Structure 1
Amino acid sequence: MIYGEAQDSDGHTQPVASYEFQTSPPYVVALDAGHGGSDVGAEGVIQEVELTERTVDDLFALLEQDPNYTPVRCRENGENATSGERALKAAEAKASLLLSIHGNSDPYSEDSYGFECYPQPPGRVHHESALSFAQAIASQFGEAGQRLRGENGVRYIYYQGSEETGYEKQVVEISDDSVHEEETFGLLEKASCPAVLAEQCFVTSPSDVSAWGSEAGCQAAAECYYRAICAFFGTTPIV
C-alpha cells in the first residue's frame, strides 16, 4: 500500500510504502541528524549540527550493541539531505521507527532552555504510535533532570501560509487533539513509520549546552533516547 511520496537527490518522485511493523527483533530504527553539510542549523554556543551528529553517533553506537535493534542513518555526517530523501532512506531500510534529532534556539535570550519533541499529529496514519514514543522520550529526559517545555515536553507543530506569503509556525499542546489542516514538519509528514522530531536543548543557552549539548551531554541524551526506544518496543536496555 502506498502511503506517500518523496523525492530523491535527482528530483525524481519515489513512492514511500506503508507496512506492518516488525513483530520481533531486530527492529530497524532510523536516526536522523538534523541539518548537515552547508546547513549548520541554529548557531549559538555551538552549531546545531554539532549536537545532532554527535548525539546520533552516540545513539547509533548504543543501538548497534543491542541485538534487538538495527540502526540506520537518514544521512551521513557532513552531508545534507532533503526531508524526502531522509524519509526515503528510512523507508528503504523498512524502519519501524524514526527519530529526528535537533537543537532549539532563542536569539533573544540565553535563558530559554529545556526539551520538547513533536510526534506526527492527530489525523496522521501513525499518530498514536508516534505519540506513545514521544511520551516515552519526554519521560526519560524528565527523569534525567531536563526541563520539559509546555505541558509535558510533547507538542504538535503546524505551519500556516504558503511559499508566496511565507510560513508562520504554530505550536500546539497535546491536550489539543483536534485534526489540523496545516502540515507539520516535512519529515514527519513523509515518514512511512511512527516518527518524532526532538528538540534536545537550546544551543543558545550555555547551561543547556553544558548539560545536553557537550560530549557528555550528548551521550546522556543518547541514553535517554535509547531507553525510550526500548520502552516503545518493550525490550530491556543493555546499559
Structure 2
Amino acid sequence: MAKVYIGVGHGGSDPGAVKYLVEKDIDLQMAKGCRDYLKEHGVEVLISRNGDIDSSINEKTTMCNYWGADLALDIHNNAGGGEGFEVWHSVNGGKGKVLAQNIEKEVVKIGQKSRGLKTKKNAYGSDYFGFIRQTKCPAIICEGVFVDNKADAAKADTEEKCRAFGEAYARGILATLGMTEQNATEETKAPEQAAVQPEQTKADTYRVKVTASALNIRKDAGTANAITGVIRDKGVYTIVAEKTVSGQKWGKLKSGAGWICLEYTQKV
C-alpha cells in the first residue's frame, strides 16, 4: 500500500499568514480533505497534526522519514498580495516535480489560477526549504490561495471550499502513484470504505438546513464519487437515507439529486 505524508502548515502559537483568513486553520481543512480522499482510495496516510498544535519543520520531516513515506506534501497558503496557487519542488526535479505538475493540473480544474511550479536554492546550491531538503522521499510544498487578497481568499473561505483544494491535491497524488478513481477497486480501497459502501441505512425522513455556502451534491456517498450539483442557498432539504464513509455521515436527498455530507448541515 502506498504511503503519503501530509504536513500541515503552522498551528498552535503560529497562525501563519493572517488577514481575510487565518492560514493555520485553512491549512488544516485542506489537509483533512486530502487525507480523507486518499484514504478512500486505498492510500495509507500520516498527517502532521489533526488539531491546532505547534508543529516544526524538523518534527514534520523526522516523522515523515521515520514512517517511510513514498511521497510527501506540506500544505500552506500564501500572503503578499498575489493571486493563485503555486507549488514548490526540489531543484533536482525528479518525481517531486512530476507530483507538482500533477497537482497543479488538478488545482486548475477546480477553477484556481496557477502561478506555476517553483524551486529555490540555498547558499549551498541545495533546496532552500527544509521540508523539501530534509525529507528522504520526493516532497513538495503547496500554496493554495493568498489570504491577504480578498478575491483569492474567498476561494477558501468555507470548509467545503478548502476540502475541494485538498481533494485536488489528492487526485494529483493518485496520478503520481499511478492510481486513478477508475482503478481504485474495492480491493485497493481502504477497509472502512469497502465495509460501508454496499448498503445504505434507511432513515426516518427528516429535514436539514445546509450551513455551508457551497455544499457539493455527489452521485453517491463519499468524496470519491462524482459531483452532480452544488447547493448554494443554505436552504432546507429532506433526507431519506444515510451512509457513513470514512467516519463522515452522508444523507440522500429526497429529490433524487444525490448525496450530501451531513457535517455541513443542521437538523430542523
TM range (shorter): 0.7 to 0.9
Pair 114,133 (structure 1): closer, same or farther in 2 beyond 3 Å = same
**CA–CA separation in structure 1 for the residues paired with 2:61 and 2:177:** 21
SS at match of 1:230: helix
How far is the alpha carbon of 1:181 from its aligned partner? 1.3
Residue of structure 2 equivalent to 1:235: 179
Cα deviation digits, residues 121-142 of structure 1 (max 9, x gap): 12xxxx3000000000111112
Pair 182,29 (structure 1): closer, same or farther in 2 beyond 3 Å = closer
Query: 2:43 matched to 1:80?
Result: no
How far is the alpha carbon of 1:234 from its aligned partner? 1.0
Query: 2:42 matched to 1:39?
Result: no
Query: 2:152 matched to 1:157?
Result: no
Which of structures 1 and 2 has the larger relative contact order (alpha carbons within 8 angstroms, sep 6+)? Answer: 1
Give the TM-score, by structure 2 length: 0.65
Letter in 2 for 1:27: A
**CA–CA separation in structure 1 for the residues paired with 2:143 and 2:83:** 10
Residue of structure 1 equivalent to 2:233: none
Q: Structure 1 residue runs of 4+, over 6 Å off?
A: none
Give the TM-score, by structure 1 length: 0.72
Write out aligned runs for 1:1-239 (5 A): 26-67=1-42, 69-106=43-80, 109=81, 112-122=82-92, 127-149=93-115, 153-159=116-122, 181=125, 183-237=127-181, 238-239=224-225
Give the gaps of 5 or more residues in structure 1: 1-25, 161-179
**CA–CA separation in structure 2 for the residues paired with 1:188 and 1:212:** 25
How far is the alpha carbon of 1:144 from its aligned partner? 2.1
**CA–CA separation in structure 1 for the residues paired with 2:122 and 2:16:** 18
Tell me how many residue pairs correspond in the alignment: 183
Residue of structure 2 equivalent to 1:164: none
How far is the alpha carbon of 1:27 from its aligned partner? 0.7
**CA–CA separation in structure 1 for the residues paired with 2:140 and 2:126:** 17
Give the gaps of 5 or more residues in structure 2: 182-223, 226-268
Letter in 1 for 2:180: T
